Structure 1
Amino acid sequence: MKRSPLFLALAALAVSVIVVAPLPFVVGNGTMRYMTDLFIMIAVAQLWNLLAGFGGVVSIGQHAFIGAGAYSFFGFTTLLGLHPFTAMALTVPFGALLSLPVFTILSRMRVAYFAIGSWVLAEVFLLTAGKLPGFGGGSGLSLRPQIVKAFGARTGARIENIYWLSFAILVLIVLMIILVMHSRKGYALRAMRDNENAAMALGVNPNAIKMMLFVVSGGLLSLLGALNTLQKLRVNPAGSFSLIDWTVFIIFIVVIGGMGRIIGPIIGAVLFVLLRENLANYGPVYMIVLGAAAIAMMLYEPGGLAALPARWRKRRSA
């Protein structure tokens, strides 16, 4: 009996949860921190893939919302005295509301200018963060110990709790994308990405869908920025709004793994981490290899690593 794509996707997600969730019982703190960074990276890549790969909205300024989430979390907890869990939850509506005026400005621009404009606005956010009173200026500030201890009194307990929290957020993001892409909105997304004029003729409102994607992405990216701040234990403009970490590397992950496929960012993130761990000590060579790998993949198979099995099957059958 042939299973539906939705059933297979949900089954694969369930197996992943069964395998990955219990890992803190058998691995050390270092591995858990390593895995938490990987979860955050995959989640950011999934959201960029949702925008660019599924919706055709190419933004190179998503680090603006990562940084906004980090700074809003710090402000809610340190300056306003809110409970850390409440503050983390509030980063989602904060990022979503912030994305509305950003999208209103960017939506007036064509594709290439949209991408450039998103990067420029992100740099404006970075420069603004360095001037905010109470956030440590350009050098930033560390989180207070009592904020960190809300996620675990002991270091080991805190690392475990953040591991499970980051994995839960990643699972929810992937589940949301799976359900959306197998719904009527998902078909509208694909139609809009492939041919916007034809989609409009069928009653699809591209601007409304793009705004919805941008708002959802902005809110969840802000949540991931808060989570990353818990990992790093501090905020600072260069780190929280890092173009390299949250845009350049994320685009590499999605392109090398496969745009427009849910499995793509997962494959790309694992490959990226392996390359980073093995080549980081070689300085510039590390970046050269990443760039060369991305160019080679785009030339050989634009669909990324996730598309290679189908390509090889087609060759074999031919």
Structure 2
Amino acid sequence: MTDDLIKVFAGSGSLRLTERICNYLQIAQGKSETLRFSDGNIFVRIQENVRGRRIYIIQSTVFPANDTFMELLFWIDAFKRAGAETVTVVIPYFSYAKGDKKDEPRVSIRARVCADAIEVAGADRVVTMDLHAPQIQGFFHIPVDNLYALPLLGERIKALQLGESVIVSPDVGFAHQARRFAAYLEMPIAIAYKERVAHNENAQILQIIGEVKGRTAIVVDDFTLSGGTLADVSQKLINYGAREVYAAITHGVFAEGSLERLERSPLKKLLITDSVENQPVTFNHKIEVVSAASMFGEAIKRIHNRESISEMFYSIG
């Protein structure tokens, strides 16, 4: 593929992933820079001509969430003002996706506010991966492509050859997605039942529903933040007779203290993608990164060539 009429640029939240995507596409990365002033203001600058080009800007909106999101809006505006034909926003991890509903009085639906801001800034299309709440696609009036990390993580799980295994959903809410993992890997499924009583990162695992005794348990989820649920589920699975515990999580959003919590847990290995790269922690031996660059690169190529993206996921239904 040539770089004729296509340009991929990096926001400061996805520098390494953008480089890998450009390597997959065999194109030169767009030239740009992000500056931060002492008062906290962010300044973005495109360092080449983009007039008439179809632009793809890669930016995960986390660590720090507000700064990276504002930077993304500035990039969209800069490209539109520079005469780009279209601006496709690639958000590997959309941090405000958790704010998808008004679940108590007098609170903001944060994901909707973010969707409105992205549209008003001038984005023509959004590409993301494993949205915490898929209905967020309906918050936008522009096309939204929600990619799935399942094939990437699923193939890595197959390569580990873990023997008799069971897929475990960490809660009832993720059971539907966990069933997709189970079908893809041809494994049974179990569900951890938990309760969360406050707006914090702590939940209590009450029981495991399903047969895990003597099997390798593989916990799947869309993201982890504190590591608390993973650690608690891992211990509960061992208590219920699981031989060992692995996990496959799309977004490794590790807050400070999370890896220490996982280090003390029975979890043997945690697979994550590289959708988040500015974590304030240093990975330990339990973390293995599976790059999503080929998936995002393929999606960009298909969008650019006006081909189907859904064909990439026929194998997972």
Give TM-score scaled by structure 2 length. 0.24
Give TM-score scaled by structure 1 length. 0.23
The structure in which a higher percent of residues are strand is 2
The structure in which a higher percent of residues are helix is 1
